[in-house]
Each structure stands twice: as C-alpha cells, then as structure tokens.
Amino acid sequence: MNPLADNPLETRSDAQRAVVDLFDPLETHFSPGRARMKPDARGAHFPDSAAELEGFSRPLWGLVPLAAGGDDAFDGWSSYRTGLANGVDPDHPEYWGEAPDYSQKHVEMAAIGLGLALAPEELWDPLEASDRENLVAWLSQINEASLHDCNWLFFRVVVNLGLRAVGADHDWDLTQETLDELESYYLEDGWYADGPAGERPSDYYIPWAMHFYGLVYAAVAGDDDPERAARFRERAAQFAAEHRHWFDEDGAGLPYGRSLTYRFAQAAFWGGLAFADVDIEAYDLSWGEIKGLWFRNLRWWADQPIFTDGGVFSIGYRYPSLKVSESYNSPSSPYWGMKAFIPLALSQEHPFWRADEQPLSETADLTVQEAPKMAICRDEEAGHHYALTAGQNSHYLEKYTKFAYSTQFGFSVRSRAPGIDGAGHDSSLALSADGSTYRSRLSVTDSSVEGTTLHSRWEPWDDVTVETWLVPASPWHVRVHRLSTGRQLHSAEGGFPVDKTGDDQPDRHSHEEGEDGALVRYPAGTSGIRSLRGSREGTAITQDPNTNLVAPRTIVPTLTATHDPGTHWLVSGVTAATADRDAAWDRPPQLALEDDRFVVTDADGDELLRLPRSGSDR
C-alpha cells in the first residue's frame, strides 16, 4: 500500500495531506502507553528502547512543521502528549530510560526539541507541571553526555533551542561551544565534512544534517546570534548552487554514501532554505527552482515501491532490501525523511509557496566539485546522470569508494556470497589473490582533483599499490590504473550495473562478450566496458540479488584478467545509457603512446588526459 498513491504532490495542501497520510499506517504499531512505536520485529545495533523511541520521535519531523504552519489536519496530538509524558516518566513501564554517552536516544531527542521550539502549544503548554519537569530532566541528559564528533553535536543544539524556547532550564554556553566545534568542520564553497576535516566524508549528511540544523538554528535563534546565523545562511546558499547538480531532471537524487534509506530526506535541505529565508537569489537561484527541486524529489520517491503492504516505509533505497542498510537502521529509521516537510511551518504567503515550480536554470554537462572530489556528469543524450569520484574514506566502504555512482543504475554493495558475484564490483576494480576473495578501492591513501581529472592511490595489500585516474568523456568515462603488485592477482573491473528484468525474454536482452570488452542490453538500459590497454576478457557477471540500491537483480559488464608480479597499466572506457538511448558503443575513447606518455582522447580525437609512463610496464 502506497499512502501517497493518489496524491499529486503539487501544492502546500498536498504536502500537508502527505504528512498525515504517511503517519496514519503507524497508528496500530504504537504501544499501549503511546511512548513507543515498532512497526516490525527487526532490530538495529542499539537497544529496543532506543529503536522504539525512534519510532515515536521521527514522525515529529513532519508533524511539528504541520502544526507550526497552522494546519489542524492531524488530530493525534493528545495521544502524542500522552506518549511523551509516559516516555519521560521514570516510574512508567514505557520510560525511555537513561541516555548514556553516545546513545541513540540523543539523536531522537532532537525532534522533540524542534517540537518545543516550533509547536509548544502541542507538546509543552498542555503538559502537567510534573510532566514538564520530567521532560526537561530527560532531555537535559544530552548536556551531560559525550556525543560523536559529527552531525550528532547538532542534536544538543536543537534540544537546547527547544528548552530555551519554552523558558526551561538549558545550557546556552555549552550550546555555543558545541556550535563552535561544528563550525570547525567547515571546508569551502558551502561544504562541510561530517566531522573533523580529513577524517569524515562529505555526503548527504551535509545537506540534510549540517546545513539543515544550522538553518533551523538561524531561523529560531538568529535574532540573538545574527553573525552565526548569517554564516549559516550564506554557506547554505553557496552549497545550494553546487548541490542542485546532485539531482536529475525528474527529481531523483544521486545515490551516494550511507543512510540512503532516509529517502525523502534528500529534499530536506531545499525546504530548509525556505524555512530560514536564505538569500538564494545572490547565487542565481529562484524560489521556483528550489520549490521544483523539493517537489520533484518528493514525487519521485512517491512513485517508487518503498512501502510495505501496510503502508509503512521499508528499509532499503528504491525497493525494500536489508542488504543495503546500515547496522543503525531500525524499522523506523526511514521516517528521518519527514524532515523534508519543514517548509510546512511557513505561511502559504511565503515566496517558496507562492512561486511556480521551475526546472533547474543551469544543467551543466560536467560539474567538478572539489570538496567531495567529484565530477558530476549529466548526459542528456544517454539519459544518464552520474558522478565520478576520487573516493572518500569511511568504514561504510563501497558507499564512498567506487569510481562512479549513477542515479539511473545505482550501485551495489558486497554480500557474503563467495567470488566475484558477491564482491559488489560494479564501478570498481576488484582484485583477488586467490580468485575467490576480492578487494577493491575500499580505502584511499591519497586523492586529488586536477581540472576534470580525479586521482587516487589505494593499497589493497602491503605489496600492492594502485593509482587510478578518472576522466569524464561523456557518453564515456575513462579509467587509467597503474597496478604495482608483488604477487599474482586476478582482476575484475566492472561497468555500471543494469537491472536484469527482461532476462526471461530472449528478444528483450542481449550480451556481447569477448576479447577486450563486454556490453549488456536490457529494457532498463545498456552498459558497456572496453579495455583500451591491457589484454582482458569481457564477460557479463550477475550480482548477488538485492545488493543493488536501485534494482533487486543486476548484471555488470566486466573485464577480467590475471596479472603476474610487476607493474601493469590497465585502461578502460565505460559507458551506459537508459532505455532506448544510444550508448555510443562503437565510438569509444582512444589511447595512444607519445614520447613515453599515455594520451587519452575522446572519439573525436580531443585530448582528455596525458600521463607519464614509468616502471616495468606490460
């Protein structure tokens, strides 16, 4: 059941209705005391008490703006207050319990803090004095506990914003110290790292966390802290000019990084710009563009099979799959996406709501972004929107370290299946010493961006080093690898993964496999990889099911080879196109050797990359 199936998601009233419709399927999953919500029996790495608190709190990210904007369509506030009072009462059986250092409960406190700041008439004013006292005591634990040095620090900020808004005890000095720490994560051009620079990645946690909470702070406390609020607004405007390139024309966001099961949260940043009245026009953006980005993303998600039979959000990305989730994803985790509805707190007279939806005013074919070390490619002829990446280190591995991430074809994660089928080798060079266990670029020791070329160095073993250069050449991109190995290795380099739907109908799919290339065609699209240097065999490899974010069954055109100890140059051209589009398979990039240098050109002979050749090359 899709709660949004008959909602066109075109107006403010449509969005208001969406919040209520998304919440309604959760009603039957609340505990008797209304303090906990658990839609199914799956668990996360933290205790059930935290997971069930997550179920209670996360819908508030949408319900609170709904109330703040004056809409009375939601009639469940009395029940929410009952649950809130019981959850913070140490003598009640549904008490949420203590929140020690690094507890998930601190994460869930933030939605309640937002409620105190924006909708005190629903979550504070009607409470009994004893309930208020319990609530303040429970929330105040966040000021005594250690938090992870990342976006988590903003949870303390939002909680204190809420306590301050209702005149309750809070720690404003600690709040300012916490904000100072968060600002130290700032990089450039509107980008933050999600923690200390150089140690944490730049991903969706920048728009839907670092910027989002900063904009909430600017809107709620900006009059008392105008300089910081101005910085938050200015950085968000800068970031908006770059982040818009992560979105396809139909509203789909680029799948990259962790926590993608939050889905609608991709739209939260665009709504946050409106909530904080950011001066977007200074960066040649309009409210019509912002509104278009916001609504198109919501509509795209509403058309995907992301709900259970009961209308509850599933875990997964474009379809239900636990294989692509993180250990901290509980059954209620996807409701973090309700943050997208923050502009409902605004009056219908706000410019965001009064504007007509507009498409992106600028859709460059190629956009290089220094902070995340990406080159974002928008190939209209091939119907393909993707990013090449130099890689960012994270213990979430292939969610940050593949060579390319595609909006249309997604990416795949590793599974427990042995061999290359379970290695998640799409958009990767996978290496194996035994032919069974594969390693790819799962950590990066050095990376850089020079012009439109991305470079990285990675060391899968102590005696193996790979340097990789990625060059956009739409409708292709070129990969150059300098593999130095002290051992014999097997390699499998994958192109983009393609949905295998249609494989039971011979006239709807085809494979071209042979020396130095592989091409697969399916109803979802075409994907191919050619070897431009180095003798490698082309083959099509089916991946372990449910490991791809976009489709449950995928196949990857792949180049395979065996390499003796020494230095090897491997060069490949990779292309892909969506259904009924030309993949330009017969016009690949070219490689030549000039004066002991490799020269890579596109099909028309225009130079893309020139590299010195060194070492004992094969």
Q: What is the pLDDT of residues 392-409, one digit of tens each?
A: 988 888 999 999 999 999
- Asked if pLDDT for residue 430 goes beyond 50, the answer is yes
Structure confidence at residue 495 (pLDDT): 98
* Phi, psi for residue 301 in degrees, rounded to 5: -65, -35
Structure confidence at residue 363 (pLDDT): 82
pLDDT digits (tens, 9 = 90+) for 195-206: 997 788 999 999
> 598: pLDDT confidence band, cut at 50, 70 and 90?
confident
pLDDT digits (tens, 9 = 90+) for 469-498: 999 999 999 999 999 999 999 999 999 999
567: left (phi > 0), else alpha (psi -120 to 50), else beta? Answer: beta
- Asked if pLDDT for residue 283 goes beyond 60, the answer is yes
Burial 394-412 (b: 16+ CB within 10 A, else e): bebbbbbbbbbbbbbbbbb
Half-sphere CA count of 586, side-chain side, radius 13 A:
1
Q: In 3D, which of 83, 113, 351 has the Cα closest to residue 213?
A: 113
Structure confidence at residue 614 (pLDDT): 62
Output the CA–CA distances (angstroms, integers) from residue 500 to 398, 545, 604, in the order listed: 22, 10, 32
What contacts 565, CB < 8 A, 6 or more positions away?
A: 485, 486, 487, 488
Output the CA–CA distances (angstroms, integers) from residue 51 to 303, 304, 316, 329, 450, in the order listed: 27, 25, 17, 9, 44
Share of the chain above pLDDT 70, in %: 99
Q: Which two tokens stand for residue 324?
A: 């692509």
| 439-445-450-454 Cα dihedral, nearest 10 degrees | 10
- The neighbour count for residue 51, using CB atoms within 10 Å, is 24
- Asked if pLDDT for residue 618 goes beyond 70, the answer is no
Structure confidence at residue 245 (pLDDT): 96
Mean pLDDT of the chain: 95
Structure confidence at residue 582 (pLDDT): 79
pLDDT higher at 593 or 118: 118
**Which residue is listed with tokens 């071209």?**
512
- Asked if pLDDT for residue 616 goes beyond 50, the answer is no
pLDDT digits (tens, 9 = 90+) for 144-189: 999 999 999 999 999 999 999 999 999 999 999 999 999 999 999 9
Q: In 3D, which of 553, 558, 54 has the Cα closest to residue 323?
A: 553
CB-CB contact of 250 with 292 (8 Å): no
Question: What average pLDDT score do residues 95-101 get?
Answer: 98
